[in-house]
Each structure stands twice: as structure tokens, then as C-alpha cells.
Amino acid sequence: MGENKRRMLAGDWYLPDDPELAAEARRAAELCAAYNAPGPPPPERRDALLRELLGSVGEGVRIRPPFHCDFGRLIRIGAGTFVNFGAVFLDTAPITLGEDVQLGPYVQLLTPAHPLEAGRRRAGWERGLPVTLGDNVWLGGGVVVCPGVTIGENTVVGAGSVVVRDLPPGVLAVGNPARVVRTLDPDEEKSP
């Protein structure tokens, strides 16, 4: 394993313009292209592509194309999770989705962070900070989750929100930046 990849996986500053990382990104791009191809492949082929692309995929995971990621291998998705079309997972650090997570269309889970100092940014330095979604999290359409954020189980984030800080379990958060507006009562909504 090369130095840049080792630094990336450790969450340290690294230079992404690296032949080893470029080869892994090409592999992910080719698998995403096959997954996103017009006239979707049969379900068993789509499942096989996901299992080849991603680090782990639980039973009953559904991801509607198009779906895009940087590397794929750093993504772990729990059973019963649904990802609507247009999702972008930039996985320069681990992205972990618990079980029964629901993501609306055009959700972005972003792990890359860049230096604030312009010279280092121009030189291409970055690092990855993990994104974690607990079980039963629901992100509305267009939600952006920034690097290093953890969202607790049973939390709901309203459409169009930008999550820049950790959110606790069992809350409703909305806005840019997302703010907790109330605690969710698990007994509030009963099935008919």
C-alpha cells in the first residue's frame, strides 16, 4: 500500500493525485457506470455489482440509480436500507449506514475535508473524516452531510438541510446548518 493511500485510510492529510488511488477510483467509476447503465440490469446483476463495489451490503438494500461514489470499498450499508436516485457518497473515509436507513433523492454524504489555507488547498491536500448514520435514520431529499458527522438512530433530517455537526438519536433537524427543532416521540405515530 502506497503512502498516500495509507495516509488517506488513517484520516491524515494526503495528496489524492496518486496512481494507486486513481486506479481504485477508476474501478469504482466503471462499476458505478455498469450499475447506472440505461435499461437497468436484472436485480441479481445489480446486487452483484453493489457487492463488488461496496465494502459491505446488508440483505434487502435498494439503491436506485444513478449512484456515484469515489472508491466504494469504504462504504458499509446495513440491511433494509433504501437510497433514492442521485445519491453521491464521497468515501475518502468510511461511510457507514445502519439498518433500515431511508435516503431521499440527491442526498450527498461527503467525507473529504480540505485545508482552509489557500496554498495547501491549491496544492491538492485533503483528508477524509467518516460519516455515520445510525439505524432508522431518514434523510429527506437533497440533504448534505458534511465530513466527520454522526447522526444518531431514529433521527429525521428535513429536505434540503446541511448537516455540519453530529445529531443525537431520536430528533428532527432542519435547516442550513441543520438544527434540532424537537425530540421525536417513538409512540407519536402508530401504524394504521
- Catalytic residues, by residue number, are 114
Q: Distances from the Cα of 70 to the Cαs of 40, 41, 114, 187, in angstroms? A: 21, 22, 16, 39
CA distance linking residue 130 with residue 192, whole number of Å: 38
CA distance linking residue 79 with residue 101, whole number of Å: 9
Cα 106–chain centre separation: 11
- Provide the grid cell at 151: 447522526
CA distance linking residue 74 with residue 145, whole number of Å: 16
Q: Would you say the C-alpha torsion 19, 7, 143, 105 has a positive or negative sign?
A: positive
- What is residue 178's three-state secondary structure? coil
Question: For residue 10, which phi and psi values (nearest 5 degrees)?
Answer: -85, -5
